[in-house]
Chain A
């Protein structure tokens, strides 16, 4: 088991290295676009000053061909609700779930949750590899996965989990394990080596 850990972290790193990367700087953010050999697209935004990741999103082709939609893993779509959705959208007053990482924590913020701290039951399920958010009044429920941990096949530790509630926001934090910190350092180094395009001269596939 101990020997398996570094190998799986390396695999993800290798995949990142082998992907086709495009990079540009705008709005004080460094935007990196990855195109993997499987056709999967990933894009990450880093804050230039602090070096923390603000956004990570994925896009995969739909089964019939044609473009899929961006799915946010970290951060929130800025164009919320204006997708011209004729069908069904969540009302703005509902809880809004986002992942906002810090340098040492995986962190999730759920806004619009007005209930007091005693209302929440937060637990970690190492077998299903998820964090469970429950409410005593049965108003909110969420299973949180940590894709970073899944990609590296790292075990979950319920001791790393903590949460707080303030300003109608529930904040759940999970302390990043050493292997993740190590990996992020390596990835950041990799990205720093990329030559960023000048703002406006983008060479990525328009879709």
Chain B
């Protein structure tokens, strides 16, 4: 019995490759068809007003007619601003470009701030275009992936594919192996591989393997083994971002720059040319523009220069929908001595639709913690969850979420089946929250380094 359980866990380990992030539990905005938010759905809890607003904006993005609108999500820390943005990105699907950056990301010594912002803008606009590519389409006869003999050695693999007429053995590169393992390709599958990008798609199982039906489950699709040659030229429609086209055309770096990531500055002339070219394609009906979303978290970290750039950039008809999030109230605009709401100049604020998030009440917090427990695979009993909710209310939601996995570990140490109050108590004593930590610091300030240097600025905070 225990042996079986061990086996089960092993299988699970292989299938779950993703790590659990802070917003892994968000799978959408949790709206119904009438754009009314359900109280708890798709990992979202509460924040009904803000979600309703986000739903309307989502509609606007999907319609794709209006360019250069900007939305600001404002609210206290830990009220779900990033969660809402993630939810929007999830419900948009993979075909709409969604770029998420943090306000401090654009401060780099290698690239000017406006260049970084322009690149982010252009990453968020997709172009859907038909292109002829070489694809390999066939039935997998055998797939063999060898682990590297020495540490750090590249994996090597071989893939044998066949059609009704022929059979070929391929050598696989590291990227291809990764993509095939992710798709869980096995003998008997019919797959297509884009030869230049290495993207593989499983079309289904071969009819010749149809007797494996019981083992595969009812949702398996059966297809015929392809005919003729394995390699074909085929027209495929795919979406590339404007930024990708920019990089391919910026002569200095060439196509390889996409992979190394170091693109440097791209000349305005190149961008202008590409914009003209795309306008031509659109007129000829060869390409479609897919406007996407640019999400800038911690937008108060931008300075006055960036804000004035944003003002201008939003006026372009190639601009994406811009979503910004901030947790600041009335504060200084970076790079000036002026204060302004959210640390954003009034002229930009005037262009924004502002959505605000409110602190969660106790019931909602309870729900969120329960969702997180599930996401982090932690069994917690009702009393422990209640006490954790209480802790969350007194300190912060984030702190309470941190305690979940920590308490699960102490629980496992004492060989408990589920997390109980004593585990929560233990980790609550072990790890300080922000207010207890500052309390502690105030008490023992004189014992810390450099405490003898007293300045007036300390008190102003």
Contacts and interface: CB of A to CB of B under 8 A. Distances in A.
A200 interface: no
A87 B229 contact: no
Interface residues of A, number: 23
Given A88-B171, A88-B173, A94-B168, A66 B198 contact: no
Interface in A21-62: 62
Would you call the interface of chain A mostly helix, strand, loop, or mixed? Answer: loop
A51 to B, nearest CB: 33
Contact of A91 (B158, B163, B254, B255): B158
Contact of B228 (A85, A88, A143): A143
Given A63-B131, A94-B168, A134-B165, A85 B173 contact: yes
Given A63-B129, A66-B255, A141-B228, A90 B248 contact: no
A87 B198 CA distance: 6
Given A87-B175, A88-B176, A88-B198, A138 B170 contact: no
Contact of A86 (B164, B169, B175, B248): B175
A140 interface: yes
B315 interface: no
B171 A89 contact: yes
B164 A88 contact: no
Nearest to A138: B165
Nearest to B166: A141
A88 B240 contact: no
A88 B193 contact: yes
B167 interface: yes
A88 B172 contact: yes
Interface in B242-285: 244-245, 248-249, 254-255, 274, 277
Given A64-B248, A138-B166, A90 B131 contact: no
Interface in B162-192: 162-176
B173 A87 contact: yes
B209 interface: no
Contact of A141 (B129, B163, B193): B163
B136 interface: yes
B195 interface: yes
A142 B162 CA distance: 13
Interface string A70-101: 00000000000000011111110110000000
Contacts of A67: 254-255
B198 A86 contact: yes
Contact of A90 (B170, B197, B244): B170
A138 B240 CA distance: 38
B169 A93 contact: yes
A63 B248 CA distance: 11
Contacts of B255: 66-67
A141 B165 CA distance: 6
Interface string B271-307: 0001001000000000000000000000000000000
Contacts of A89: 170-171, 173
A158 B183 CA distance: 45
Most B Cβ at <10 Å: residue of A85, A87, A135, A139: A87
Contacts of B240: 64
Contacts of A140: 166-167
B176 A86 contact: yes
Nearest to B281: A63
A93 to B, nearest CB: 7
B163 A64 contact: no
B176 A65 contact: no
A91 B167 CA distance: 12
Given A88-B136, A88-B195, A139 B169 contact: no
A86 B129 contact: no
Given A87-B198, A88-B195, A89-B171, 13 more contacts: A65-B245, A65-B248, A67-B254, A86-B173, A87-B175, A87-B176, A88-B173, A88-B198, A89-B170, A90-B168, A141-B166, A141-B229, A142-B166
Interface of A: 62-67, 85-91, 93-94, 134-135, 138-143
7 contacts: A63-B129, A63-B131, A65-B274, A88-B170, A88-B198, A93-B169, A140-B167
The 5 closest A-B pairs by CB, nearest first: A141-B165, A87-B198, A141-B166, A86-B173, A66-B248
